[in-house]
């Protein structure tokens, strides 16, 4: 049977790609964030996952406003990155795992989630940069399943809905009748706001409560409406929904194997957590 | 057209909802096209013709001409697509933040560093 070996959650801001391209990982500005991945990579060498299920939000590479799914699951044999318009280098393509994708889609629909299914799907920086942080040589040792949650256009799915989605996804992974080691990745956040007069908004106190809640009480964030969450963490900080869904895939108590929080990376409070049962 | 549902009032913040998405469709569609390098070049060669092709409204055309982020948002722009427009001019999200808050880029960056203390 398939087993979730752990959950990694991380920020995914595009400037991480710029820092990688310019080899600035050890610059004082970037070091506190990039160093957070050292223990994660050590752990990956031990657990050797076969597949990464990556929960992220597209920023206008694969999806446009003509058709905007709330939840979407990739079911392609391979996924490509492409030019997003502002010039970070693209990364090599990722192998898919269509059999697992369709199993997850079956499980989600049975659990009354109805994702859009994508047999042709570009993956943007929110998918590629976390992968490049986990495997800097970009010689991907895992097959992948992209799982996309809309944070572009409101209404967004509630925190409660995203947590339930993650739990349904986790059950579907656990039910998979293949001997697979599965890593779940949740990307985005933490607090930041790019748009409006409140651009630059960051909320350290809320972020830290949120990170602690993923361990002690994952339902904590579900007390907040989307509007309340945006007020706390910013229009893009709402990407914490990806962390919540990813955390939901692990049933029962979890512990943090490593955790990093650093302000700022670009306009964003950078966060990394590695959680396992 | 406006949609009747309660809208949250978050200072300095426009939620990109159905109303904004309808208002901004042409503008965002143009900015979405900037994923393609050839389209970015075509825009730079003849901005008027490119905007006309996407049927921008006059406030949208004006906001593009002014390179003004707050005006672009008021005209229905979504920041994820607007970032692709900004990319044509090699502007990053900290340039956008500085412009929207009336700060210099260094001041804006200092504000972010201060948020970590």
Asked whether residue B2 carries a pLDDT value surpassing 90, the answer given is: no
- Looking at this predicted complex, what is its ipTM? 0.95
What is the distance between the alpha carbons of residues B89 and A85, in angstroms, rounded to a whole number?
11
Burial class (CB in 10 A: 0-12, 13-18, 19+), A238: buried
- pLDDT bin (cut points 50, 70, 90) of residue B3 is low
Distance from CA of B68 to the nearest CA of A (A): 11
Distance from CA of B94 to the nearest CA of A (A): 7
Characterize B19-42 residue by residue with b for buried, 16 or more Cβ atoms within 10 angstroms of its Cβ, and e for exposed: bbbebbbbbbbbbbbbbeeebbeb
Q: Per-residue pLDDT tens for B47-74?
A: 999 999 999 999 999 999 999 999 999 9
CB count, 10 Å around CB of A83? 18
For residue A4, what are the β-bridge partners?
A: A182
Looking at A12, A59, A103, A192, which residue is catalytic? A192
For residue A197, the chain B residues in CB contact (below 8 A) are: 11-12, 70, 100-101
Rounded to an integer, the average pLDDT of B34-50 is: 97
Asked whether residue B1 carries a pLDDT value surpassing 60, the answer given is: no
The percent of residues above 70 in pLDDT, for chain A, comes to 100
Asked whether residue A36 carries a pLDDT value surpassing 60, the answer given is: yes
Alpha-helix runs per DSSP H in chain B: 18-23, 25-33, 37-45, 47-53, 58-66, 69-74, 79-88, 93-101, 105-115
What single DSSP character describes residue A219? Answer: T
The per-residue pLDDT for B8 is 85
For residue B70, the chain A residues in CB contact (below 8 A) are: 196-197
What mean pLDDT value characterizes chain A?
97
Rounded to an integer, the average pLDDT of A75-103 is: 96
Residue holding tokens 């055309």? B61
Rounded to an integer, the average pLDDT of A219-224 is: 98
- The CATH superfamily of A3-276 is LigB-like (3.40.830.10)
What is the distance between the alpha carbons of residues A250 and B88, in angstroms, rounded to a whole number?
42
The percent of residues above 70 in pLDDT, for chain B, comes to 96
Contact A85 B111 (CB under 8 A): no
Residue from A120, A19, A130, A122 nearest A75 by CA? A120
The answer, for A187 touching chain B at a CB cutoff of 8 Å, is no
Contact B15 A269 (CB under 8 A): no
Asked whether residue A19 carries a pLDDT value surpassing 60, the answer given is: yes
Rounded to an integer, the average pLDDT of B29-37 is: 98
Q: How far is CA A67 from the centre of its chain?
A: 22
Contact B17 A155 (CB under 8 A): yes
**Pairing mode of beta strands A71-74, A181-187:** unpaired
Asked whether residue B4 carries a pLDDT value surpassing 90, the answer given is: no
Which chain A residue has the Cα nearest residue B68?
A196
Give the residue extent of every domain in chain A: 3-276
A/B interface, count of CB pairs below 8 Å: 141
The per-residue pLDDT for B6 is 73
Confirm if A146 and A74 have CB atoms less than 8 A apart. yes
The per-residue pLDDT for A57 is 98
Mutate which: A16, A30, A68, A86, vs B, most B CBs within 10 A = A86
Domains and their CATH numbers in chain B: 18-89 (1.10.700.10)
């Amino acid at each position: 049977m398939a087993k979730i070996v752990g959950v990694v959650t991380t920020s995914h801001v595009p400037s991480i790609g710029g820092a990688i391209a310019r080899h600035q990982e050890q610059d004082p500005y970037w070091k506190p964030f990039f160093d957070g991945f050292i223990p994660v990579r050590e752990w990956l060498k031990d657990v050797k996952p076969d597949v990464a299920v990556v929960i992220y939000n597209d920023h206008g590479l694969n999806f446009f406003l003509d058709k905007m799914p709330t939840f979407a699951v990739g079911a392609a044999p391979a996924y490509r990155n492409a030019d997003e318009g502002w010039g970070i280098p693209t990364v090599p393509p990722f192998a898919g795992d269509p059999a697992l994708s369709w199993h997850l889609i079956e499980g989600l629909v049975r659990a009354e989630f109805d994702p859009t299914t994508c047999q042709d799907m570009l993956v943007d920086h929110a998918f590629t940069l976390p992968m490049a942080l986990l495997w800097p040589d970009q010689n991907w040792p895992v097959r992948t399943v992209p799982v996309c949650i809309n944070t572009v256009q409101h209404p967004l799915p509630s925190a409660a809905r995203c947590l339930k989605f993650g739990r349904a996804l986790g059950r579907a992974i656990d039910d998979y009748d293949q001997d697979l080691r599965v890593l779940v990745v949740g990307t985005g956040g933490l607090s930041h706001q790019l748009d409006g007069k409140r651009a630059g908004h960051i909320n350290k106190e809320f972020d830290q409560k949120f990170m602690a809640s993923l361990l002690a009480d994952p339902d904590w964030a579900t007390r907040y409406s989307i509007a309340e969450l945006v007020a706390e963490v910013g229009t893009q900080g709402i990407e914490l929904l990806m962390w919540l869904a990813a955390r939901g895939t692990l049933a029962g108590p979890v512990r943090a194997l490593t955790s990093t929080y650093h302000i700022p990376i670009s306009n964003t409070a950078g966060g990394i957590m590695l959680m396992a049962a | 057209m406006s949609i009747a549902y309660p809208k949250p009032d978050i200072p300095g913040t426009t939620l990109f909802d159905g109303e904004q998405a309808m208002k901004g469709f042409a503008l965002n569609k143009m900015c979405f096209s900037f994923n393609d390098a050839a389209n970015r070049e075509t825009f730079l060669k003849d901005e008027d013709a490119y905007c006309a092709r996407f049927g921008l409204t006059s406030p949208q055309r004006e906001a593009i001409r002014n390179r003004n982020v707050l005006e672009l948002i008021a005209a229905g722009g979504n920041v994820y697509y607007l970032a692709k427009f900004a990319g044509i001019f090699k502007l990053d999200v900290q340039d956008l933040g500085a412009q929207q808050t009336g700060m210099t880029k260094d001041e804006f960056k200092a504000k972010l560093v201060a948020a970590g203390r």
